[in-house]
Amino acid sequence: MARRALKLASWTGMALAASGFFLYSNKYLDPNDFGAVRVGRAVATTAVISYDYLTSLRSVPYGSEEYLQLLSKIHDLFMSFDDTPLGAASVAQVHKAVLHDGRTVAVKVQHPKVQAQSSKDILLMEVLVLAVKQLFPEFEFMWLVDEAKKNLPLELDFLNEGRNAERVAQMLKHIDFLKVPRIYWELSTKRVLLMEFVDGGQVNDRDYMEKNKIDVNEISRHLGKIYSEMIFVNGFVHCDPHPGNVLVRKHPGTGRAEIVLLDHGLYQVLTEEFRLDYCHLWQSLIWTDMERVKKYSQRLGAGDLYPLFACMLTARSWDSVNRGISQAPVTATEDSEIRNNAANYLPEISQLLNHVPRQMLLIFKTNDLLRGIEAALGTRASASSFLNMSRCCIRALATHKKKSTCSSFRRAQISFSEAFDLWQINLHELILRVKGLKLASWILAFLCWLLPTPY
């Protein structure tokens, strides 16, 4: 029960971190750091796998060929199975195994009694949230309970996770630097998921990248592009990109850097209206169109708190938003100012989170986790990441406009406008690179002038 309470605390921490105020000081609580939680997990793993495969036998005639085939799966499924989990969380743990046909697989096994315990967890959460409401009437966290009731059953259904993995792999198949492990359906159940085993380092592990000669800036750009495609273009968003779920590696064949996306249990499906308003809002933030920032923030439920809403989305101060978030990177002074002033805005943050569309809540969480990765890599808020976002927004809005017209001439106009806007972004990016190269050459020349000439 203590572990469940800790999980609730981490959810509440997410709500605050999503504001952008606790973004870089927040230390994520991992309930699995407590040794007692792990007791019995390794022992129970084989039992859980066997139980799930045995339940398949109930609908098969006793003694039939199919019955015997399923029974043999239980006893002879793995050539080897590593009892030590590769990773463990509050819902499941993952083991490495080898099938008899030589395939190396990752086996995700749900902990025993999680299904039965989940309703008690939600009840505990609801009681605690109501208690907080009584003590602090200005804080509204009932949305936490609503989100848990909606999302927890989906996360506990591993077949749903497999379907999400296949959907996102198909959706982003044009992105050659993304790897989504293949699902082995014939060996998966609602509580056991078998997938292709893919090795790699965590996305925030700079030492791993340096050792394997992987460009940190390239990985940051790739990750931004993947999530921009999900959010702005497709409206189907992986909402748990913490470092354990995002790996990096060099492709075994090409040697190119590749991102491996794991754990597809939690996705947010954006409505078209929300997605398009969100596109317009980010375009307005990137190009510093403050009237449209106000307009689209209010369309997304921010009301008069739209300045706070913009700060929460960008993790920047209101002064920086007004100057242009793509004009200058965040400074240590700005970061410190945001953290120090956070407590003053907690009632307003609570009010805002209670009024924005529920789709926005997981987007806040996703943004927070992605910025945490950028902070760990030292690539936070680069101009190129904003330009990639803008490209996806332009494509998404143009696609919507073309679908909304029957005129071939109008579609041609929209395509021309889209091409022109993308060309402007490419030109702007080229100018930024040239400026960067000039600055680098000036610094090099200055250093050469300072250093004595060797004899």
Question: Which residues are marked as active site?
Answer: 240
Angle at 31 between CA 28 and CA 33, to 5 degrees: 95
E strands, 100-234, in order: 104-110, 178-179, 192-196, 201-202
* Sign of the dihedral defined by the CA atoms of residues 419, 421, 425, 431, in that order: positive
Report the C-alpha gap between 51 and 8 in whole angstroms.
30
Among 237, 245, 230, smallest CA distance to 268 is for 237
Report the C-alpha gap between 188 and 52 in whole angstroms.
9
Residue 64 burial (CB count, 10 A): 11
Report the C-alpha gap between 348 and 7 in whole angstroms.
24
Phi and psi torsions of 129, nearest 5°: -65, -40
Angle at 243 between CA 241 and CA 249, to 5 degrees: 105
Helix 142-155, helix 114-135: angle, nearest 10: 170
Token pair belonging to 247:
């790996």
Phi and psi torsions of 259, nearest 5°: -105, 130
Strands 257-261 and 178-179, sheet pairing: parallel
Report the C-alpha gap between 12 and 218 in whole angstroms.
33
Indicate the burial class of 411 (C-beta count within 10 angstroms; 0-12, 13-18, 19 or more): middle
Residue 60 burial (CB count, 10 A): 15
259: β partners: 178, 248
Q: Please say whether the beta carbons of 253 and 179 come within 8 A.
A: no
> Counting runs of H as helices and runs of E as strands, what totals does the chain give?
18, 11
Tell me which residue has tokens 């309703």. 119
Among 320, 323, 309, smallest CA distance to 363 is for 309
